[in-house]
Structure 1
Amino acid sequence: MPLITLQNVDYGVGGPLLLQDVALSLEPGERVALIGRNGAGKSTLLKLIAGEIRPDDGEIRVEGGVRIARLEQEVPPGAEGDVWDVVAAGLGELGSWLAQYHHLAHAEHVDTDAMAAVQAKIEAAHGWSLDQRVTETLTRLELDGDAPFAGLSGGLKRRVLLARALVSAPDVLLLDEPTNHLDIAAIDWLEGFLKGWAGALVFVTHDRRFLRALATRIVEIDRGQVTSWPGDWANYERRREERLNAQAQESARFDKLLAQEEVWIRQGIKARRTRDEGRVRRLKAMRSERMQRRELTGNVRMEVAQGESSGRKVIEAKDVSFGYGARTVIRDLSTVVMRGDRIGLIGPNGSGKTTLLKLLLGELTPTTGTMKLGSKMQVAYFDQYRATLREDWNAIENVAEGRESVEINGKHKHVIGYLQDFLFTPERARAPITRLSGGERNRLLLARLFAQPSNLLVMDEPTNDLDVETLELLEELLGEYPGTLLLVSHDRDFLDNVVTSTLVMEGDGTVGEYVGGYSDWLRQRPAGTATATGLVKSAPAAAPPVAAVPAPAKRKLSYKDARELETLPARIDSLEEQVASMTAQMNDPAFYQRDSAAITAHNTALAEAQAQLDLAYARWAELDG
């Protein structure tokens, strides 16, 4: 019997219905991948299934006793306190009582009256078994319940929110882009965990390898229609192509017949004779049907503005080391980057990939060794945090900066037409970027990036929030780019399809160099390297007994260090805003009309702010380790 059934469900937010006449059911144990273009309604469908929003029409039936939990794309407001508190919040009011009891029991001076009152509430709700469930969930997901949630990395926060979703023992788990901000080790762990999870799963992801590993059924949203495709991703791709070809042929046949009827009606009076009234009515019906047809969303048309050729040797590093205080991030690196190389940087979060990028670009000075940059370098940088977008500008202003057109490889193109190549309607192009989705922001950043003449592309996690079609087109574009590419990504398929070599953070400051992409590295790596770096860490198919996986011990911090750890996230946020603001000023053409002393002072201040930010991240990793 289906756990959840959607019957004739409609939902709209103005304009054509986002979801129309949806018929869908979910069976126990299924793992359903929900796919579609950015803005097609994937997250909306998850919210409808979760009961967070109601349909405009139709019915959603949930079988009695079925529990549903949803992991959102972003950290929800109100997620604060220790990890234990955030996970227990998945149990509702009882969870808040358990968290309160947990804090009272661990307080330096126990308030016996308060503890007795909370204990009575828990006992009345028969809640002690759920207290044990929180502890078991933390153990299964290898989380420290006493760690401050605000001080965790993005990947660990996602794991805590997954624990909060799982603690209610849901029958249906809804995951919206669960791999965003996770490194390869965390993605690999999540794949293994979900393969061994017994409940039903509905998930949205841009990670094709993750999708292929998990999905037992594909559900597609296309122009408001929801279609179910049994089987794996390869079967879906083949059958979808067949369906699109059939639709195109049927549309062409319909349009030809409509054109013939339009010619007939224009012949005049004989078309309005009584015996032809039926034909006139059929023509009106055909016109109405054609007006209601929703065309397939076009593909992004991307072209990179190419700069002049750089020197043959782009970057040369000899015995380069770099560290923060006593911590060595890069140790004895020697490498040469030649024009046309496409290099992927692979490593766990916090391993030093961004530091390595800055060394290679000359933004940081090595502690020891020498770094030489080639001639005629024109760098275009894609920032995963989208710091180069001005929030007070719309899409047009962010790309054209006051101009009416952009120049791409010697051709002038009106900015509206250029943005339409990236699937922005004129209305969306003029809307404040605060209203844009994550996928739209990523496309806007790509549009801004590709409008800059370059011969060295630096891309830090460009795949987050992009739909599969745009990802494949981006792969093709980067494959044809004549310049040099430095790419940081946790998307294993994207790395395999784009890069020609990899630099891998192998721990203790060591950087390994390998030919090919991610899969090639897996074949070439020395024995034990994967485990040592934390890049590949498969979870067992089934969750182990609680006693078999003890919670990791956490270093006890002094009061001073604990206070510093609490304040570091706010300091990092402040420094990131400062760096983003100063970088945005440099993107303004008026910046370079200042005198040289002011420009030099600005660059020096920016370098100092970036160094402080790097030190703050390093200190955070040290205290939270």
Structure 2
Amino acid sequence: MSLLTVKNISLAFGGPLLLDGAELTIRDGERLCLLGRNGAGKTTLMRVLNGDLPPDGGDIMRRQGLRTALVTQDVPADLEGTVFPIIASGLGEQAALLEEFHQVSRSLQSSTDPALMERLAQLQKRIEETGGWQMQQLVEQVIRHLKLEGDAAFAHLSGGVKRRVMLGRALVSDPDLLLLDEPTNHLDLETIAWLEDFLVRRDKALMFVTHDRSFLRRVATRIVELDRGRLSSWQCDYDTYVQRREEQLEAEEKQAAEFDKKLVQEEKWIRQGIKARRTRNMGRVRALRQMREERRARRERSGTADLAVQQGERSGRRVIEAEHISYAWTGQPIIRDFSTTILRGDKIGIIGPNGSGKTTLLQLLLGRLKPDEGRVKLGTNLEIAYFDQHRGQLDEDRSVQDNIAEGNDWVEINGQRKHVIGYLRDFLFPPERARSPVRTLSGGERNRLLLAKLFTRPANLLVLDEPTNDLDLETLELLEGLLVDFPGTVLLVSHDRAFLDNVVTSTLVLEGEGRVGEYVGGYEDWQRQRAEQIEDEEKKPQAAAEKVQPQRPGRDRPRKLGFKEKRELEALPARIEELEAEQATIHEQMANPDFYRDHGDEVAQLQQRLEQIARELEQGYARWEELEALEG
């Protein structure tokens, strides 16, 4: 069933048309990935679909009562309050009830005011009548999985965490059409995996923009491309799209070349002498005029980025050597007893949850932070280029070209002088954009500019902290190729699984409590090796109990339940029933107004128990599904 149809819409902001006769139909339950280069107008299109921005022309037909929600990369500047009520506000009427219940419950932790108890009883009854407890569990689930603090003040959060809050609000609102602009930015791998599952299980329409190819492959059911103002639909997976799109571009270039050749011939004919003019075919003249208009109207596809890093002199064979280093912050271990040797040419990926210490590990390995214990020895002749995910190396008030050349007209790349405007063209900055201040650039343009700035400096050690955020897929793949071919050493922090798999030769994983695991290969290799480790650990006690000689697990043999896992699976349904029965009993108790008068001191305790039960039920159901899948 059609939710929304766009017909022949156009939109411009004083320059070339961002939308030029764009047409699209979105159906219920579809999950569309919107692709296009940085600056092509993807965010603008989603704002149009959300009703925030009217098009200059064309028609948009929405199903009656259609509800949409948009999460952009910009955070509202005037939003106030704490995280829980902001996310719960996506629930509409139930949000006010849950927020007041949340506030009254907190007040009763330090008070036994009968009026508060009476109000809590009223709220409890109203929430039950409207199915609000299930909604509260959804809000708490989203807060937990997005790794947010419900009582944290929104105004004090970082930009990345604020974006997670806005994502949470959109998810709980459950709109008919959810619009997400780069939803995986600022999420760690565990949270990305949860978001994938959440969106795939959701049975309503979704349109999203992403540079994360693993996320795209898992979530999208259709690909829509925005190119030169037009929308094209591809009913296939991403890899098939890439192949077909390349074939289409080749055919388009060939057709354009034939058109231009014919135009040259016609122009030559029209300029023949007086004898030819006397016998001129007026139909042919009119056709020539039409060809001129077509050529004038043709919007050329923007060029391909030409990334090149300025290579420094060859470093020593040993680039970094860490011996038993440890580091703690406010008494909490970040890195504990970690040793590694990084050699010239290694491509090292660093992954872990947000806040686990990835940037801290980088600073320790580079000698910029002194470990509490152990030592770090840097190799000889190192020339380091550091990509900061916060883009602090860019001066927002200076122009793009001044950020690159410091007021000069030329830059030197691998021994060759190049005009700064020509160099910026290689990074897809046209001359007019090169003269613009950095503050006017989009996130993807800023990332490209920072890469351009770094690559003007000789380097044999590239340190890249989340370089892929906001880059379009084409530039991302070019960056991959550059890093693979780079003869020096690379340290790469990223949550982009495909990028890690395609670039790194080994991976450092921050596993919690200061542990750093070292694995050969990228993300998929780590997942496989870690699963084999867990399987080996589970088989050891089983083999000892059954006195069976352990067998080395085959890589291709399917994973089976261990003895302890079978027992766990058998016990889980009964445990879940117990939790649900306890939950129902507490709800029944708290639904009775007399309870608040006679047992006011137990209210806060029971509310905490309800929250704990909700967490245990979620974990129990997830574990049950996991074990049943292995058994099946």
Q: TM-score when scaled to structure 2? A: 0.79
Report deviation, 1:524: 1.5
Report deviation, 1:462: 0.3
Report the counterpart of residue 68 of structure 1 in structure 2. Answer: 68
Q: How does 1:318-333 map to 2 (within 5 A)?
A: 318-333=323-338
Report the counterpart of residue 256 of structure 1 in structure 2. Answer: 261
Report the counterpart of residue 47 of structure 1 in structure 2. Answer: 47
1:529-556: CA deviations, max 9, x gaps? 79x9xxxxxxxxxxx99969974699xx
Report deviation, 1:100: 5.5
Question: Measured at CA, do residues 551 and 246 of structure 1 come closer, stay the same or move farther in structure 2, by a change above 3 Å?
Answer: farther
SS of residue matched to 1:453 = coil
Deviates more, 1:277-286 or 1:311-320: 277-286
Report the counterpart of residue 21 of structure 2 in structure 1. Answer: 21
Distance 2:23 2:114 in 1: 55
Report the counterpart of residue 378 of structure 2 in structure 1. Answer: 373
Q: How does 1:296-445 map to 2 (within 5 A)?
A: 296-445=301-450
Verify: 1:281 aligned to 2:282, yes or no.
no
Question: Measured at CA, do residues 142 and 105 of structure 1 come closer, stay the same or move farther in structure 2, by a change above 3 Å?
Answer: closer
Report deviation, 1:368: 1.4
Question: Measured at CA, do residues 94 and 319 of structure 1 come closer, stay the same or move farther in structure 2, by a change above 3 Å?
Answer: closer
Report the counterpart of residue 511 of structure 1 in structure 2. Answer: 516
Deviates more, 1:246-255 or 1:166-175: 166-175
Report deviation, 1:20: 1.4
SS of residue matched to 2:314 = coil
- AA paired with 1:172? L
SS of residue matched to 1:506 = strand
Q: Taking every aligned residue pair, what percent have the same amino acid on both sides?
A: 56
Report the counterpart of residue 480 of structure 2 in structure 1. Answer: 475
1:251-281: CA deviations, max 9, x gaps? 1111110011111122232443364222222
Counterpart contact for 1:137–1:163, Cα < 8 Å: no
Report the counterpart of residue 138 of structure 1 in structure 2. Answer: 139
Distance 1:480 1:34 in 2: 30
Question: Measured at CA, do residues 529 and 306 of structure 1 come closer, stay the same or move farther in structure 2, by a change above 3 Å?
Answer: farther
Counterpart contact for 1:271–1:280, Cα < 8 Å: no
Report deviation, 1:127: 11
Distance 2:437 2:96 in 1: 38
- AA paired with 1:284? R
Report the counterpart of residue 630 of structure 2 in structure 1. Answer: none
1:276-297: CA deviations, max 9, x gaps? 2222222121111101111111
Report how many aligned residue pairs link the two structures: 536
Question: Measured at CA, do residues 415 and 458 of structure 1 come closer, stay the same or move farther in structure 2, by a change above 3 Å?
Answer: same
Deviates more, 1:472-481 or 1:152-161: 152-161
Distance 1:196 1:158 in 2: 22
SS of residue matched to 1:167 = helix
Counterpart contact for 2:75–2:159, Cα < 8 Å: no
- AA paired with 2:138? T
Verify: 1:77 aligned to 2:82, yes or no.
no
Q: TM-score when scaled to structure 1? A: 0.80
Question: Measured at CA, do residues 275 and 412 of structure 1 come closer, stay the same or move farther in structure 2, by a change above 3 Å?
Answer: closer
Considering only CA atoms, is the larger Rg found in Structure 1 or Structure 2? 2
1:32-90: CA deviations, max 9, x gaps? 11100011111111111111111111111111122111122233223332222202333
Report deviation, 1:168: 2.9
Counterpart contact for 2:483–2:503, Cα < 8 Å: yes
Counterpart contact for 1:87–1:134, Cα < 8 Å: no
Distance 1:269 1:92 in 2: 77
SS of residue matched to 2:76 = coil
Distance 1:111 1:225 in 2: 63
Distance 1:130 1:151 in 2: 32
Deviates more, 1:513-522 or 1:153-162: 153-162
Question: Measured at CA, do residues 163 and 89 of structure 1 come closer, stay the same or move farther in structure 2, by a change above 3 Å?
Answer: same
1:489-543: CA deviations, max 9, x gaps? 000000011111111112211111111111111121265779x9xxxxxxxxxxx
Verify: 1:189 aligned to 2:194, yes or no.
yes
Report deviation, 1:111: 12
1:224-261: CA deviations, max 9, x gaps? 11001112112212221221122112111111100111
1:72-131: CA deviations, max 9, x gaps? 223322333222220233356884676457535644677979x98xx99x98xx997375
Counterpart contact for 2:9–2:22, Cα < 8 Å: yes
Report the counterpart of residue 6 of structure 1 in structure 2. Answer: 6
Counterpart contact for 2:384–2:460, Cα < 8 Å: yes
Distance 1:240 1:142 in 2: 39
Report deviation, 1:408: 0.4
Question: Measured at CA, do residues 19 and 506 of structure 1 come closer, stay the same or move farther in structure 2, by a change above 3 Å?
Answer: same
Distance 1:152 1:136 in 2: 23
Q: How does 1:464-503 map to 2 (within 5 A)?
A: 464-503=469-508
Counterpart contact for 1:154–1:181, Cα < 8 Å: no
Correspondent of 1:234 among 228, 235, 239: 239
Question: Measured at CA, do residues 152 and 159 of structure 1 come closer, stay the same or move farther in structure 2, by a change above 3 Å?
Answer: same
Verify: 1:57 aligned to 2:62, yes or no.
no
- What RMSD in Å do the two structures reach over aligned CA positions? 2.9
Distance 2:502 2:261 in 1: 41
Question: Measured at CA, do residues 178 and 276 of structure 1 come closer, stay the same or move farther in structure 2, by a change above 3 Å?
Answer: same
SS of residue matched to 1:141 = helix
Structure 2: which 5+ runs fail to align?
Answer: 538-575, 584-608, 615-632
Question: Measured at CA, do residues 20 and 146 of structure 1 come closer, stay the same or move farther in structure 2, by a change above 3 Å?
Answer: same
Structure 1: which 5+ runs fail to align?
Answer: 533-543, 555-625
Distance 2:253 2:392 in 1: 41
Verify: 1:213 aligned to 2:218, yes or no.
yes
Deviates more, 1:545-554 or 1:431-440: 545-554
SS of residue matched to 1:301 = coil
Distance 2:63 2:331 in 1: 58
Report the counterpart of residue 599 of structure 2 in structure 1. Answer: none
- AA paired with 1:496? D
